Every structure is written in structure tokens, then in C-alpha cells.
Chains A and B, each alone.
Chain A
């Protein structure tokens, strides 16, 4: 296959591609961002590039004017190189937001992504911990087998089965050939005292591991939430149900694309799927490694893990091609993934340990939502409930035990602390509560674990915007009042900015600030979430007032000031008693499932029951969204209790 070199300016990066690859895909492979909202379908016309040197072949498009064509403009998604080429990416194709150079915004987006896993809050279940019967995905059983003799000469394997069935009535038991091969010697060298790990695999029970002696006291598992922006992992003692530790880190896939669509496109590149798969399992393995070392646990005693994630993330985790998720009619390869061996997906636990994935609903409603519904007990309650997951994909579920409907609002990652100048995850050192004195503009804040501030997490941003509005520092469209003169207000690279903490006071390399671009991003995120919730509620001929409980999920802080979240228009204006903050509901759901097989059955039922409401084809969504791009909302009547 012929290969061509494509050089991109002004990045001055060269990448070699196979003949037939589009300029856009070459840029993605090179890690260069070109705007493309249609994902390379030649529809949006945002990916214009100028060919400076060399030959390209382009499909015809109405998106390039005659004048532009003369200047060498091409749509990068419709153009393939015919020789080595030099391509300039003009300003308009590099900018997602005006006035920032693309390099900056790209770096900004990646800022903080290459971070160590850090400890985060474990998340409390809303439903009682005793709700599901304790029956972990993998259970260890210590067995003292009677030695065979001439009167009792059933085979070794049947001998084990017989003893197991004496404990519990398990009609279907199976064992892999690898275990059978070792069995004869193992039983005799361990004096017939062994520990078997029973795994629940798709309706049958498997003897997953056979070990000498009694190890039944040491049985651990991992629950994972694989988010587009954040990966969280939790080490659980499967015997005591105790959570030993929880860590979170940004999903490094973000360097191949901030959202699922660009990652799906990237997966199509040579080695793309491989790369996306590897960065996610590497991060998971690293968390497993760190947590087991911290708690002095032998990796061999980690017998299973359960992952909840959106459909694309699960495909990538399992190295399944996600291409068809974004192609009409948007069908994923699998929503219900059988329990497999973790090693098959590259997850390093006990080599024979199991991996379960929380079932998903559709291409755009994944197992993370199923897990969230489960964690909130929405499928068990009479009460009309709304679950809002304030994550990158902003999923929303409405319903109760009789019906469940979901929608997804593409909110972006800023409430998770990504894509905002001084954003960080809700972990040690993150500013999570803020007060601003309306007279002096003095800032009082509280950080997680009360150490020196190193950034701002989602709940901190919610407080900051509310306080800036209250103090009159920003107007309701989020612009900083330029006529105010104060040491905290100044012109920055990305519009005006307000200093939350000066570097001298906190010892960071730069001041901790919020700028107009951050506020704009946060405004869009909250607008998308509010608009989607409001559309979904209205679609069911209901109003927010009909809701009896609203669950708020997301990794944006250990505590959120609900009144402030209402004040900025992120959440509907309802009495505070109706809101329940559940934290990472996807992780909690994954934990329920690893601890109880009943929960997995319930998750299956939820995934089958949940219907999906596609917002993108709703003509009123855009209108609803623009109306929500205001603090708190353009229609102030929707927020009667909000006053600044």
C-alpha cells in the first residue's frame, strides 16, 4: 500500500498515512484538532483546510465557495492525498470558541488528563445496603473433602460438586479444563482441603479457581465506572461488603477525542481501536495495582470485577469495534455482554477472574445509566423520579417502577473538572465550596480534605457562578462586568477573568481563576442538562412539579449546594427536600452488582425496560437549549425562587 506524508501547519506535524485516508483522519491520528461537527460526513463544512503543496482529490461539496476553492480550500473530510501534501489548518477550522488559538484550547482540554489516580469519595447507596441479597459475582468456599476410598470412589470433580451442593442447591455446575487438569494432584497435595471460587456466569455456576488450603477469607473485587471523562475504580471486600478504597483518574482516551463520537471515528484509524482499548485498561490495571498494594492484597485474591460505562466505553474496553454506534440506525454490537474472563479484556486480576459489564440500553444509553437507575432504586419505587447524571453525556432518566424513559444531553466534561481553565476532579485540594463577599469581593473557600487549593471541582464552579451573580460581578449571560475595578478582576487570555485564589496564597504555579470562556462552557453544560430534563418531562406530559424525587449523580463533588445548582439553572426550581445527591451512581450500581447477583438480574430488567427519547431530532430542543443559556433561565417564571 502506498503511503503519503501529510504535513500540518501551523502545528508543523508530519504524519504518514495510507493512500485513501482523508486529511481529517490524518489530522486526528496526528493528534491535531480540526473542527468537525458532523464527524466527517461532509455535511457541516467546518473542517476546511488549505492545501499548500501537493495533490489531493476531493469529493464535490457545496461548502466551499468558488473564491475559497481558488485559494486552495478543501473540506478535509472529503479530501484524500494523492501525493505528499502540506496542509494549513486555517483559524476558523481550528477554533471551537472564538479568540483562542487552537493549540491553546487543545492543551486546555487535555490539561489535567495525564494525572495520577487519586482518592475520591466512595459514594453512598441511596437504597439500603441490605436491599440485595449478598451473593457476589464470585464467592469463595472452603471445602474439606472426604478422601475417596473403595466405598466412595466418585471422581474428584464430582466429589467437589457433591460437597458444594451440600452447601447450596446449584443444579448446573461447570469447570474449565484448565482447572480439571490440575485437580488430581492439587487435591492430594493439599490434603483434600481446598478453596473453590464459584463464579456466576450467565445462568450457570462455574468453578473459576481451585486453590489449596483455606483462602475463603480473602475474596476481593473491583467495581469500575468507565466514564467518557473519568474512570473510577473501587476495591471491595466481597465477604464483608466493605469498600476498601476508591480512586478516580481522567480517561486518557480524551487525548484521542473529547467526546465519544470523535473516539469512535478514531477507533477506525489504523491501530485506533487498539490504542483506545489500551489506554483504558492500562488505567484500570494501574488502579487495581495501586489499590491492592495500598491494602496489602494479593492480586490472586481479586476474583472479579464489574464495569459500568456508556455503550462506547464498554465497546472500547472489550476491544469491540464501535463504528456502528454512530452510523444510522445507531445499533451497538452488544448491549448485554456475557460475563467473561477479565484476562480476555486485558484486566489483570486473578488470571482466571471474571469480568461483568452492566447491561446497556442502546447506543447512547449505556450500562452506566442502568447502574444509576439501580443505585437510586428508581425501578423499585412508586414515586415519580428523575435521575440527572451530570457527566459528559448528561444522561437523564425519568420514571418509576412501572416505566422508565431516558434521554442524553451532550453536556461536556466541565462539571467533572475538564475543559475549564482551573478545573480538576473532586479530589484532595479541589475547591468545593465558595463564598464571595458582595461588597469587598473577598473569596472564602473550602477544599476537599482541607488542604491548600490546587484547582476547582464541579461543585466549586456551581458555587462560584452563583456567588459571582450575587455579587454582580457577572451578568446573567455570564459576562464579567468590565467597569468593576478590583485586583481580582482582570483581562486574561480567554476574556476577562476573576481570581479565586492567588498563587502566593496557595503555592500553585498560577493563580486559580475563572474566566469568561469557562463560564460560557459551564453555561452551555448546565443549559444542555436543564433543556434535556425539561424536554423529557414535557414529552411525558408532565411538569417538574410532578416529580417526587430527583437524584443528582455525577463526579463533581462530594457535596453540592442544591440551592446554588438551582440558582444557576442547572436543576429545576423544586423544594430542596426533593433532591438527593448520589455522587457516582454508576459506580454504586456496579458495586451493587458485584455484591449481588440479584442486582444483576434487576439491571438486566432495567436495561430491557428503559426506553430512549432522542433529543437531537426534536425540533424544539434547540429553542429550549438557547432559552437555558442564561442564568438561571430566559424564562424567569421557571425559577420563581431564584433572586440575585
Chain B
């Protein structure tokens, strides 16, 4: 007798998030990116539709990063000195699905760059690229509340994904995003309850749930990856079982986490037995990403072109079923 696989039947699907707008929709993108929408756990094609593949956003900074290891910066070249060039490179050369611009220079402890300058960076990046944009602030609530609403206004029509809001600071940005037609990243500290609470708070402000992405906060391989994985898995199981307030696509800042790991950036001279640093760093980022693909990640924000390529090929294979 042939083996009959048990198929899970789910009552709900992940919501579909659309990033970017083409000309006809009021934007200037050549294509839009859709993510989410799956009716089953990751890559279980026989259990439900998986309409959109996971996508890779390449991360760029408005200010040259000063704490990125050489293995990373050398792969990006001189483009990291200029967000516009960097953006072009990510689109043309690295074939990114989206861009993720982080306004690190806005932080008061960094360069505390003026709002007008930061708004111009956003406009310039949008001008030279045709792929959809994710925009992330510096993480300092007060400063983000000052900078991001202005950027949101300036990008009106482009349907960008802006973040991040947290439970103690979500109102200002949610109001802007609502007014300007964008979507929002809701960040929670590896906590399924807070993730859900924040989504309820945001939707209570009448932002539709299709315009929210969950950043569950992840950890790199060796740095709590399993914990983040299980939280995502729980959230996704709840979503598929009918919980609309957890049914948003996940965005995972894989590059940010992986390249902080000592194993990713330590020099071979320090740890000769660990092997060449380039392979090590790239592998660390790629492995972290592939694990989260299995827990339901929809958008991977990555840094190294090589690991992005590895993960893209991996997604290709997984999507073949």
C-alpha cells in the first residue's frame, strides 16, 4: 500500500504585503514585490498555496558603516561611501529583490544628520533605482519620530515599507504611514505576545493588517537562532490556525545579526583553526538566513552579495518543490 502523507488543513492564510508601486499606481517602480499569502507552513506545497517566494532585500546605509568587517566592505567596494552608488550596485550587480535603506546616520550618537539631508538620501535612492524600497530608521525613538514621518511624506505614492515601530513608540510613524499609503514594520523582542499586541495596536489605528510586516527580532546562528526560530514557528502556526493578528509576513534582519557574530567577523590570524574569514562570514549569514526560511521568513535583509546569492539559489531550489 502506498504511503499516504498526512496533510494539515489550515483555516487561515498569511496576509499579502505589497511593497512598491509602479507608474500606474502612483509610484515610479518598474515592478512591485509581493510577499506572504501562504496557506501552509514553509514550502509544504501539497498542503496549501504558496503564491510568493521569499525575497531578499540588500541592506544599504546612508553613512559608510564603521563596524563592518573587511570581508563585507571589500565585497561592496567603494560604493559603501555613497548610498546612491550602493543602491545602484545592489540592484544592477547583486540582483536584489528590494533595497533596505537604514538611516544609521540619523542616530544622535552617530552623526545626528539633519532631517533634510536624510530625506534627500531617500529621494535620491528612489530616483536611481527601480526596485521597491524598505526604509529603516536609526532605532532611537525620538529621532526616528522626527525623521521617518518626513521621509514617509517625501516617498508618498511609492508604497515603501517603513520601520520600525515598537510597543512603546508606534503612533507617530503609524499615522504617517497610514496617511502616505506605505506599510510598516512592527518590531517585537522575540516575544509572540508583544508581536501580537503591537499588531493589534497598529490595526486599532486603522492601518489594514495587509500593510504590516512583523520583525520578530532574530538571532544569528549560535546566538539564539533556535529561540527566534521557535517564536516564528509558533506565530506562524497561530496565524495559519486563524489568528489574523499574527498573520503578517516576517521580515528578518539576518545580515545585521549574522555580521555581529564573532564567528562571522573574527580574523583568521586570531583563530587559525576557524578557516578563511570570507567563507566563514558568508556562510554564517547564509546559514542564518536558510534556517529562518524554514520558520516562515518572507523578507530577508542581507548584507553580503555572495551570501545573498547563495540564499537566492537555495530559495530557487526550495520553490521548485
Nearest chain B residue, comparing its CB with the CB of A481: B171
B171, A483: Cβ atoms closer than 8 Å: yes
| Contact surface of B with A, Cβ cutoff 8 Å | 167-168, 171, 175, 191-194, 196-197, 200-201, 204, 245
A333, CB-defined interface residue at 8 Å: no
A525–chain B nearest beta-carbon distance, Å? 17
Beta-carbon contact of A634 and B171 below 8 Å: no
Taking a contact as CB atoms under 8 Å apart, the answer to whether B168 and A634 are in contact is: no
Residues of A within 8 A of B201 (CB): 475-477
Task: Contact check, A630 vs B171: say whether CB atoms are below 8 A apart.
Answer: no
Contact A477 B197 (CB under 8 A): yes
Instruction: Known contacts A477-B167, A481-B171, A483-B171; decide if A634 and B204 are in contact (CB<8 Å).
Output: no
Say whether chain A's binding surface is mostly helix, strand, loop, or mixed.
Answer: loop
Q: Indicate the size class of the contact surface on chain A.
A: 10 to 19
A475-B204, A477-B201, A626-B191 as given contacts; A634 in contact with B167, CB under 8 Å: no
> How long is the Cα–Cα vector from A479 to B202 in the complex, in angstroms?
13
Shortest beta-carbon contacts, A-B, top 10: A626-B193, A627-B193, A634-B193, A630-B197, A634-B196, A634-B197, A475-B201, A477-B167, A477-B201, A477-B197
Contacts of A481 in B (CB 8 A): 171
In the complex, the answer to whether B197 meets A479 with C-beta atoms within 8 Å is no
9 intermolecular pairs with C-beta atoms under 8 Å apart:
A477-B167, A477-B201, A483-B175, A623-B192, A626-B193, A629-B193, A634-B196, A636-B200, A636-B245
- What's the minimum C-beta distance from A198 to chain B, rounded to whole angstroms? 58
A388 to B168, CA, bound (A): 31
**Interface check A482, CB cutoff 8 A:** yes
Complex Cα distance, B244 from A635, in Å, reads 11
Give per-residue flags for A615-644: 1 if the beta carbon is below 8 A from chain B beta carbons, else 0.
000000001001101100011100000000
Whether the Cβ atoms of B168 and A479 lie closer than 8 Å is yes
**Taking chain B's interface residues, is the majority helix, strand, or loop, or is none over half, making it mixed?**
helix
| A631, chain B: closest CB distance, angstroms | 10
Closest CB of chain B to A104's CB: distance in Å?
20
- Closest chain-A Cβ to B170's Cβ sits at a distance in Å of 9
In the complex the two chains form, is A623's CB within 8 Å of B200's CB? no
Task: Provide the residues of chain A in CB contact with B194, threshold 8 Å.
Answer: 626
Chain B residues with CB below 8 A from A483, complex form: 171, 175
Bound CA span A482–B172, Å: 10
Q: How far is the CB of B84 from chain A (nearest CB, A)?
A: 36
A216 to B: closest C-beta gap in Å: 62
Q: In the assembled complex, which residues on chain A have CB atoms less than 8 Å from the CB atom of B197?
A: 476-477, 629-630, 634
Q: How far is the CA of A477 from the CA of B165 in the complex (A)?
A: 14
Return chain A residues, CB-CB under 8 Å to B245: 636
Output the least CB separation between B209 and chain A (Å): 14
A268 CA / B251 CA spacing, docked (Å) = 52
Smallest beta-carbon distance A602→chain B, Å: 41
Bound Cα distance A444, B171 (Å)? 29
The answer to whether A482 and B171 have CB atoms under 8 Å apart is yes
A531: shortest Cβ distance to chain B, in Å? 11
Contact with B along A456-478 (1 / 0, CB 8 A): 00000000000000000001110
* Complex Cα gap A481–B201 (Å): 12
Chain B residues near A636 (CB-CB < 8 A): 200, 245
Q: Chain B contacts of A627 at CB under 8 A?
A: 193
- Measured between C-beta atoms, what is the minimum distance from B271 to chain A in Å? 21
Alpha-carbon gap, A156 to B200, bound state (A)? 81
A623 near B204: Cβ-Cβ < 8 Å: no
A629–B195 alpha-carbon span in the complex (Å): 12
Which of A476, A479, A626, A629 is close to B200, meaning CB atoms less than 8 Å apart? A476
- Taken together as a complex, chains A and B put the C-alpha atoms of A629 and B204 apart, in Å, by 17
A483–B178 Cα gap in the complex (Å)?
15
Are A476 and B204 in contact, with the CB atoms below 8 A? yes
Q: How far is the CA of A635 from the CA of B196 in the complex (A)?
A: 8
Does B200 contact A634, Cβ atoms closer than 8 Å? yes
How far is A483 from B194 in the complex, measured between Cα atoms in Å?
Answer: 23
CB distance from A12 to the nearest CB of B (A): 32
- Chain B hits for A629, CB < 8 A: 193, 197
Quote the shortest CB–CB distance from A481 to chain B (angstroms). Answer: 7
Measured between C-beta atoms, what is the minimum distance from A469 to chain B in Å? 11
- Chain A residues within 8 Å of B200, by CB: 476, 630, 634, 636
The docked-state distance in angstroms from the alpha carbon of A483 to that of B175 is: 11
Please report the C-alpha to C-alpha distance between residue A189 and residue B196 in the assembled complex, in whole angstroms. 82
| Smallest CB separation, A434 vs chain B (Å) | 23
Taking CB atoms, residues of chain A closer than 8 Å to B167 are 477
Give the interface centre of B175, B197, B201, B204 by most chain A CB atoms within 10 Å: B197
Residues on B with C-beta less than 8 A from A634 are: 193, 196-197, 200
In the complex, the chain B residue whose C-beta lies closest to that of A623 is: B193
Within 8 A of B (CB), among A340-398: none
B54 to chain A, nearest CB (A): 27
Cβ-closest chain A residue relative to B246? A634
Set of chain A residues within 8 Å of B204, measured between Cβ atoms: 475-476
Instruction: Give the shortest distance, in Å, between A507 (CB) and chain B (any CB).
Output: 36
Tell me the minimal C-beta distance from A457 to chain B in angstroms.
28
- Shortest C-beta distance, B146 to chain A (Å), equals 15
Question: Please, which residues of chain B bring their CB within 8 A of the CB of A477?
Answer: 167, 197, 201
Return chain B residues, CB-CB under 8 Å to A635.
Answer: 196
CB distance from B245 to the nearest CB of A (A): 8
A280 CB to closest chain B CB, in angstroms?
Answer: 39
Q: Closest B-chain residue to A637, C-beta based?
A: B243
Q: Which residue of chain A lies nearest to B234 when distances are taken between CB atoms in the complex?
A: A623
Q: Name the A residues within 8 Å of B171 (CB-CB).
A: 481-483
Contact digits for A239-281, partner B, Cβ 8 Å, 1 yes 0 no: 0000000000000000000000000000000000000000000
Which residues of B sit under 8 angstroms from A475, Cβ to Cβ? 201, 204
Distance in angstroms from B276 CB to nearest chain A CB is 30
Cα-based distance from A636 to B204 in the complex (angstroms): 13
Closest chain-A Cβ to B80's Cβ sits at a distance in Å of: 30
**A483-B192 Cα distance, complex, nearest whole Å:** 28
Task: For the complex, give the distance between the alpha carbons of A367 and B46 in Å.
Answer: 59
Q: How far is the CA of A623 from the CA of B231 in the complex (A)?
A: 11
- Cα(A629)–Cα(B191), bound, Å: 12
In addition to A629-B197, A630-B193, A636-B245, 6 A-B residue pairs with Cβ atoms within 8 Å of each other are A475-B201, A477-B197, A479-B168, A481-B171, A626-B191, A630-B197
Min distance, Cβ A444 to any Cβ of chain B, angstroms:
26
Which A459-518 residues have C-beta < 8 A from chain B?
475-477, 479, 481-483
Q: How far is the CA of A483 from the CA of B174 in the complex (A)?
A: 13
The answer for the CA separation of A626 and B245 in the assembled complex, in Å, is 16
- Which residues on the B side are within 8 Å of A626 (C-beta)? 191, 193-194
A623: B residues at CB distance < 8 A? 192-193
Interface string of A142-154 (1 = CB under 8 A from B): 0000000000000
Give the distance in Å from the alpha carbon of A627 to the alpha carbon of B192 in the complex.
Answer: 8
Give A627 to B193 CA distance when docked, in angstroms. Answer: 5
Q: Of residues 510 to 546 in A, which have CB atoms within 8 Å of B's CB atoms?
A: none
Instruction: Report the bound CA distance from A476 to B170 in whole Å.
Output: 13
Measured CA separation A477–B169 after assembly (Å): 11
Q: What chain A residues lie within 8 Å of B196 (beta carbons)? A: 634-635
Within 8 Å CB of B193, what residues of A? 623, 626-627, 629-630, 634
Residue of B nearest to A483 (CB): B171
B-chain residues with CB within 8 Å of residue A476 when the two chains form the complex: 197, 200-201, 204
Give A461 to B270 CA distance when docked, in angstroms: 60
Distance to closest chain B CB from A131 (angstroms): 43
- Min C-beta distance of A527 to chain B, whole Å: 10
Complex formed: what's the CA distance from A629 to B194 in Å?
9
Interface residues in A118-148 by Cβ distance below 8 A to B read: none
Q: How many Å from the CB of A520 to the closest CB on chain B?
A: 11
Complex CA–CA separation, A479 to B171 (angstroms)? 10
CA distance in complex: A481, B204 (Å): 12
- A627–B204 Cα gap in the complex (Å)? 18
Q: Fill in one digit per residue for A411-442: 1 if any B CB lies within 8 Å of its CB, else 0.
A: 00000000000000000000000000000000
Give CA–CA (A477, B204) in the complex, Å. Answer: 11
